[in-house]
Amino acid sequence: MTSRTINRIGYHLFRRPLYAIMSCFSTTHMPPASDDEIDIVIPAIAKDLQTLPYCLEGIKRNIPHRVKGIYLVGPVDERLINFTKEYGLIFINELEVLGFGPKDIGYVTTDGRDRSGWLFQQFLKLSGNIGECQNFLTIDSDHILLKPHVFITNDGKYVFYRSNEFHWSYIMENFRLLGKFKIPTLSYVSHKMIFNKTILEELKATIEQKSGEKWTDSIIHTIDRDDSSAFSEFELYASFVDKGQKISKLWLQKALLREPTFNMDNIKNNNPSLLSITYPEYLNK
């Protein structure tokens, strides 16, 4: 049975119906937020500038935590640098985060697709080398928060948002990296995640102890090259976090086609049950 077949079965027979049932009892209500200061990290390239202003508007309106800095991480590009100046962000040269770049990864699938850049941006998030705060939020540049999102509760628990995605390769890669086989009830892939730097160090140390090599090398060497999306930093990290340190909420989001104009209030009014939306590039091709 191929991974693609397993993905279809897992999605249609397991995750999709479970998510549908759980969504009947889920609300957009949030637990009380921690007063902890956080950083926000957004990996981006020039084409992401179309949706970044909307992403930032969602952040400004709907994150109740104290935000120390918002970091835009990407290649040295005048368009990105000018954007950070205009919006008061902090630009980080992606090549300075880990000491290497996408060209050094070599994640090319068996059918010839180069996915090195896609994997590299996940390494940036897992690095823990960006920002000054102990906790930092990463969010995709095309993801827009419509309503308040809590990421750390006032009793110190991390909030992870859950989707109905099912990808067998993520589960198997986590098993290869950590030596523990887990199938989460719902996916942790939700375009955003809160990371704690101490937990990240524990995660990377666990991978390195098992593999005997640097954590990035271990991922590169074990990833399934028959699959163009064979690893998820969100699934890896959230599955590693101890059950007592986290709580879950459904992400309650929808992918929308980009409109010529963007009005968050109109979108909120037209989608009262949603917490967020995404403007994925594939819908506009």
Per-residue pLDDT of the chain (285 residues; tens, 9 = 90+): 788 899 999 999 999 999 999 999 999 999 999 999 999 999 999 999 999 999 999 999 999 999 999 999 999 999 999 999 999 999 999 999 999 999 999 999 999 999 999 999 999 999 999 999 999 999 999 999 999 999 999 999 999 999 999 999 999 999 999 999 999 999 999 999 999 999 999 999 999 999 999 999 999 999 999 999 999 999 999 999 999 999 999 999 999 998 888 899 999 999 999 999 999 887 766
Burial 151-179 (b: 16+ CB within 10 A, else e): bbbeeebbbbbbbbbbbbbbbbbbebbbe
Q: What is the pLDDT of residue 213?
A: 98
Q: CA torsion sign, 234 to 240 to 243 to 244?
A: negative
Which of 251, 234, 256, 194 shows the shortest CA–CA distance to 27? 251
Q: What is the pLDDT of residue 260?
A: 80
Instruction: Estimate to the nearest angstrom the gap between the alpha carbon of 55 and the chain centroid.
Output: 14
CB atoms < 10 A from the CB of 201, how many?
11
> SS3 for 231?
coil
Residue 111 to residue 229: CA distance in whole angstroms? 13
- Tens-place pLDDT, residues 152-161: 999 999 999 9
**Cβ 119 vs Cβ 231: under 8 Å:** yes
Which residue type does 145 have?
L
Q: What is the pLDDT of residue 258?
A: 83
Q: What does CATH list as the number for 32-284?
A: 3.90.550
Q: What angle do CA 99, 69, 246 make, to 5 degrees?
A: 85
Q: What is the pLDDT of residue 285?
A: 60
Instruction: Report how far apart, in Å, the C-alpha atoms of 42 and of each of 114, 146, 198 are.
Output: 22, 18, 20
Specify the pTM. 0.96
Q: What angle separates helix 78-87 from helix 52-62, to the nearest 10 degrees?
A: 30
